[in-house]
Chain A
Amino acid sequence: MAENLKLSPILVDQEPEETLSMDPKKFIMWLFIVSIIMLFASQTSAYLVRRAEGNWLEFSLPKIFYYSTAVLMLSSVSMHWALISAKKDNFNALKIAISVTFALGLSFLWMQFKGWGELVYEMRIFFVGNPASSFFYVFTGLHGFHLISGLCVLAVAFVSVFQMKIHAKSLRRIEICATYWHFLDILWIYLFAFLIYFR
């Protein structure tokens, strides 16, 4: 109820404010993202430090991780579609787009899980063993954990969409959701490229 009125023209049309400020809730999301970036930055630097010491197991990633990456990128596209539809008050498209995003997110998680299975049962690469493989499971697991949190944020937006609470004048919820979702997508692309390059 409060969100939509925050952006009402009464406040926006005022003289430019002398104190710099933006939407606090969105700002909180960005700071939250900074803390996640630091978490993964420390993980990947730990990986590099450990890798430089030698005794490192090299293995190629199962094909399914390439497919899951494509699925996650697609979900980012549909997320953007949802945001555009919301801005245009195109509710049918919005409902389809957000459902597609949610489904793609779930299938990404499922494919990651499948990928783990392939590593364990076919390639005999376990969590316990050489740190190279342990790090792989930690990276994918931590990202998966954050993706689940992203699905929770998405679920809130999803419910709001079907309750008709998201429209051109009430965008905060879906904008926050889109920011987080795109971030999780970029984070995975970073991790994936990192894992391939620094094998």
Chain B
Amino acid sequence: MSAVETILAPQVQAQEHEHEVLPFWRQYIFSEDHKIIAKQYMISGIFWAILGAGMSVLFRIQLGFPKASLGWLKPLLGGWITETNNLDPNFYLALVTMHGTIMVFFVLTAGLSGTFSNFLIPLQIGARDMASGFMNMLSFWFFFVSSVIMFYSIFISTGPAAGGWVIYPPLSALPQAHPGSELGMTLWLVSMTLFIISALLGGINYITTVINLRTRGMTFDRLPLTIWAFLITAILGLISFPVLLSAALLLIFDRHFGTSFYLSEIYIKGEALPNVGGSPILFQHLFWFLGHPEVYIVLLPALGITSEVIATNSRKPIFGYHAMIYSMIGIAFLAFIVWAHHMFVTGMNPFLGSVFMFLTLIIAIPSAVKAFNYITTLWRGNIVFTPAMLFSIGLVSLFVTGGLTGIILGNSALDIQLHDTYFVVAHFHIVMGAASAFGFFAGVYHWFPKMFGRMMNQTQGQIHFWLTFVGIYLIFFPMHYIGIAGFPRRYYQFTSFDFTKSSFADLNMFISIAAALTFAGQFIFLWNVFYSIFKGKKAPLNPWRSSTLEWTTPVNPGHGNWVGEIPAVYRWPYDYSKPGATEDFIPQNVPYSQTTESNFPHETALIAEEKNMLPYSPNDQFRTEAH
């Protein structure tokens, strides 16, 4: 830290960026500052997470206790509890659908990427703000309007969309198919269209910022792995979200204008519909072309955060920095050519199935590279078990557990038995849902001091971790067995046969209780966050003794992040426990000329070049504004 201050001191006299004091609503509501927008995303993400997870507890009650009288839920659900005190089956389907939509898009895409890409990209690459603050603001407010519409759809009399989060036609294309396909589905489509626009505006901004606004010295091979992850995530979104827009657009035409892109030869109540010549499989192709990359849009930011947290708290350089980058690029590339493994049972040509199976299984290689690199980074490190570190290690555990079942599901022959069972549900909840949520938790615990200038409570964080970690395994491990035994997902109840009654009832009850307890455990986190924002211990400049650039800003960075010039970058972000160094970390902005005791020969050779470094960042947005 002392090194940081000596670097900054002579530069403070640099240019004064003059800007008028903004009114409250421009500073905190319609803000163009990336840090405020990140917090807005975080708060809305947390709001949606409570709602989405709460919904899962509701339908777990139904699954775990199918015969129970649910009259006590009437004050909450009103008409959705039938006169016989059961949950309305249509509302059960709506709950499952909304849980999926909310968690995948509103929590783990907007909440995770929106929070940490916005917050960390400018801070870690050394930029004043995003490339376009206005677009960034627009991105959040598109997301906000989309959220309002989705939220509103929960309260309409026919209920929200209920055709599953994948909204396969014809169920989603025909308003007469079921109550959720009426106004609820329309609102879903409107909301998601706005969401896609928001995701594109955000993603375009992230890519532009990372590529064009890095400070001097911040070459691509000195970027923290978080930034690499956010960059690749944004590229995935840029390429895949327009395809979902396409699919949704054609679905809107089918629903509201009577075209037949997805509909053909359908009879409802004995009457033939006029639609002829459409193909419902076409929708699945378009949907999963987004849907599969979406898995990595959700997971990659979490993996990036984990890389950073594990290296910092193991006090060791990340193992295989370049391998990490290449494996992320590999995963991103493969993400676009495996979509049909979601469609093995649509009657596709078995040869085509084999091709997609082969491509799918290749993903195991870059994923394994990442898992091994995390473990080898931890190996013989001086591990500091902060809550962020615990969640990151938890993520690695979940990533491995969930990844292994992915190898099983990727086989087209095995998938015929397992498709649409709870085995699939268990698989993706561990590897994509829980792992990404752990990434979110790790990120919040780790960067909370930078976001709010205060520390979160460590003990509460550790209790939160153990409850969540044990809870996740208690929920999803038994689910694999239920799935292998053949319990189909999305079923309201599966108790019509004697064998299903005896073999599924107790495990389901167990899962439901575990889910309710794990959900309750999250309120510790919630309390910790909101209490610490106002009453937490004041944070020091660099609480985790981390080497990346965000910790060279003031405790509460203002508009423009750095006072005076943006620091230059001289080294990669993982100089932890370098042999010979006086401290066990060297920040990225410390030149090699100041660390002659720990330099490797090739680094000593770089000292001569350091003199050629510009005295200011050529990409500094304030500089170009001020001239």
Q: Name the residue on A nearest B245 (C-beta).
A: A39
Chain B residues within 8 Å of A55, by CB: 276-277
* In-complex Cβ contact of A32 among B204, B214, B279, B624 (8 A): B204
CB proximity to B under 8 Å, residues A139-171:
142
Is there a chain A Cβ closer than 8 Å to B531's Cβ? no
* In-complex Cβ contact of A21 among B214, B249, B257 (8 A): B214
A19-B624 CB under 8 A given contacts A38-B242, A131-B260: no
Q: Is A39 touching B261 in the complex (CB atoms < 8 A)?
A: no
CB proximity to A under 8 Å, residues B193-208:
200, 203-205, 207-208
Chain A residues within 8 Å of B246, by CB: 39, 42-43, 46
Chain B residues within 8 Å of A27, by CB: 131, 207-208, 211-212
B34-42, B533-541, B556-564, B611-619: which lies at the interface: B611-619
Is there a chain A Cβ closer than 8 Å to B625's Cβ? yes
Q: Is A38 touching B239 in the complex (CB atoms < 8 A)?
A: yes
Is there a chain A Cβ closer than 8 Å to B404's Cβ? no
Interface string of B362-389 (1 = CB under 8 A from A): 0000000000000000000000000000
Interface string of A26-65 (1 = CB under 8 A from B): 0110011011101101110010011001010000000000
Interface of B is mostly: helix
Q: Is B208 touching A31 in the complex (CB atoms < 8 A)?
A: yes
Q: Is B259 touching A131 in the complex (CB atoms < 8 A)?
A: yes
Chain B residues within 8 Å of A14, by CB: 614, 618
Q: Is A39 touching B277 in the complex (CB atoms < 8 A)?
A: no
Chain A residues within 8 Å of B216, by CB: 17-19
* In-complex Cβ contact of B261 among A17, A21, A35, A131 (8 A): A131
Q: Is A6 touching B259 in the complex (CB atoms < 8 A)?
A: no
Is there a chain A Cβ closer than 8 Å to B490's Cβ? no
Q: How far is the CA of A20 from the CA of B241 in the complex (A)?
A: 27
Is there a chain A Cβ closer than 8 Å to B174's Cβ? no
Is there a chain B Cβ closer than 8 Å to A103's Cβ? no
Chain B residues within 8 Å of A11, by CB: 618, 624
Q: How far is the CA of A49 from the CA of B624 in the complex (A)?
A: 49
Q: Is B279 touching A50 in the complex (CB atoms < 8 A)?
A: yes
* In-complex Cβ contact of A31 among B204, B243, B258, B277 (8 A): B204
Is there a chain B Cβ closer than 8 Å to A5's Cβ? yes
Interface of A is mostly: helix
Is there a chain A Cβ closer than 8 Å to B516's Cβ? no
A24-B208 CB under 8 A given contacts A11-B618, A42-B286: yes
Q: How far is the CB of B244 from chain A (nearest CB, A)?
A: 9
Number of A interface residues in the complex (CB < 8 A) = 43
Q: Is B277 touching A35 in the complex (CB atoms < 8 A)?
A: no
Q: Is B238 touching A35 in the complex (CB atoms < 8 A)?
A: yes
Q: Is A46 touching B286 in the complex (CB atoms < 8 A)?
A: yes
Q: Is B614 touching A15 in the complex (CB atoms < 8 A)?
A: yes
Q: Name the residue on A nearest B275 (C-beta).
A: A128
Q: Is B213 touching A127 in the complex (CB atoms < 8 A)?
A: no
CB proximity to B under 8 Å, residues A94-147:
127-131, 134-135, 138, 142
Q: Is A127 touching B219 in the complex (CB atoms < 8 A)?
A: no
A42-B242 CB under 8 A given contacts A24-B213, A128-B258, A131-B259: yes
Is there a chain A Cβ closer than 8 Å to B578's Cβ? no
Q: How far is the CA of A11 from the CA of B211 in the complex (A)?
A: 19
Interface string of B271-282 (1 = CB under 8 A from A): 000001111001
Q: How far is the CB of A52 from chain B (nearest CB, A)?
A: 10
Is there a chain A Cβ closer than 8 Å to B171's Cβ? no
Chain B residues within 8 Å of A18, by CB: 216-217, 219
CB proximity to A under 8 Å, residues B366-421:
none
CB proximity to A under 8 Å, residues B204-247:
204-205, 207-209, 211-219, 238-243, 245-247
Q: Is B282 touching A28 in the complex (CB atoms < 8 A)?
A: no
Q: Is B624 touching A131 in the complex (CB atoms < 8 A)?
A: no
CB proximity to A under 8 Å, residues B281-319:
282, 285-286, 289
Q: Is B219 touching A25 in the complex (CB atoms < 8 A)?
A: no
Q: Is B618 touching A17 in the complex (CB atoms < 8 A)?
A: yes
Chain A residues within 8 Å of B213, by CB: 21, 24
A127-B619 CB under 8 A given contacts A21-B211, A49-B285: no
Q: Is A42 touching B243 in the complex (CB atoms < 8 A)?
A: yes
Chain A residues within 8 Å of B247, by CB: 42
Is there a chain A Cβ closer than 8 Å to B602's Cβ? no
Is there a chain A Cβ closer than 8 Å to B253's Cβ? yes
Q: How far is the CB of B152 from chain A (nearest CB, A)?
A: 26
Chain B residues within 8 Å of A38, by CB: 238-240, 242-243
Chain B residues within 8 Å of A90, by CB: none
Q: How far is the CB of B280 from chain A (nearest CB, A)?
A: 11
Q: Is B242 touching A19 in the complex (CB atoms < 8 A)?
A: no
Chain B residues within 8 Å of A131, by CB: 259-261, 277-278
Q: Name the residue on A nearest B209 (C-beta).
A: A24
Q: How far is the CA of A9 from the CA of B11 in the complex (A)?
A: 24
A25-B132 CB under 8 A given contacts A14-B618, A134-B259: yes
Q: Is B239 touching A138 in the complex (CB atoms < 8 A)?
A: no
* In-complex Cβ contact of B624 among A6, A31, A41, A134 (8 A): A6
Q: Is A127 touching B257 in the complex (CB atoms < 8 A)?
A: yes
Chain B residues within 8 Å of A128, by CB: 257-260
Chain A residues within 8 Å of B612, by CB: 15
Is there a chain A Cβ closer than 8 Å to B135's Cβ? yes
Q: Is B282 touching A46 in the complex (CB atoms < 8 A)?
A: yes
* In-complex Cβ contact of B279 among A22, A34, A53 (8 A): A53
Q: Is A49 touching B259 in the complex (CB atoms < 8 A)?
A: no
Chain A residues within 8 Å of B243, by CB: 38-39, 41-42
Q: Is B279 touching A28 in the complex (CB atoms < 8 A)?
A: no
Chain A residues within 8 Å of B285, by CB: 46, 49
Chain A residues within 8 Å of B19, by CB: none
Q: Is B249 touching A35 in the complex (CB atoms < 8 A)?
A: no
Chain B residues within 8 Å of A135, by CB: 261
Q: Is B249 touching A138 in the complex (CB atoms < 8 A)?
A: yes
Q: How far is the CB of A129 from chain B (nearest CB, A)?
A: 8
Q: Name the residue on A nearest B217 (C-beta).
A: A18
Is there a chain A Cβ closer than 8 Å to B507's Cβ? no
Chain A residues within 8 Å of B239, by CB: 34-35, 38
Q: How far is the CB of B155 from chain A (nearest CB, A)?
A: 32
Q: Name the residue on A nearest B246 (C-beta).
A: A42
CB proximity to A under 8 Å, residues B120-166:
131-132, 135
> Could you write out 8 A-B pairs with CB less than 8 Å apart?
A5-B627, A14-B618, A21-B211, A21-B212, A27-B131, A28-B205, A46-B246, A49-B282
Interface residues of A (CB under 8 A from B): 2, 5-6, 8, 10-11, 14-15, 17-25, 27-28, 31-32, 34-36, 38-39, 41-43, 46, 49-50, 53, 55, 127-131, 134-135, 138, 142
A-B contact sample (13 more), CB < 8 A, given A15-B614, A24-B132, A34-B239: A14-B614, A20-B211, A27-B207, A31-B238, A34-B238, A35-B242, A38-B240, A46-B250, A49-B285, A127-B259, A129-B259, A131-B261, A134-B260
Q: Which 9 A-B pairs have the closest CB atoms?
A: A38-B242, A24-B131, A39-B242, A42-B243, A42-B246, A21-B212, A134-B259, A31-B204, A128-B258
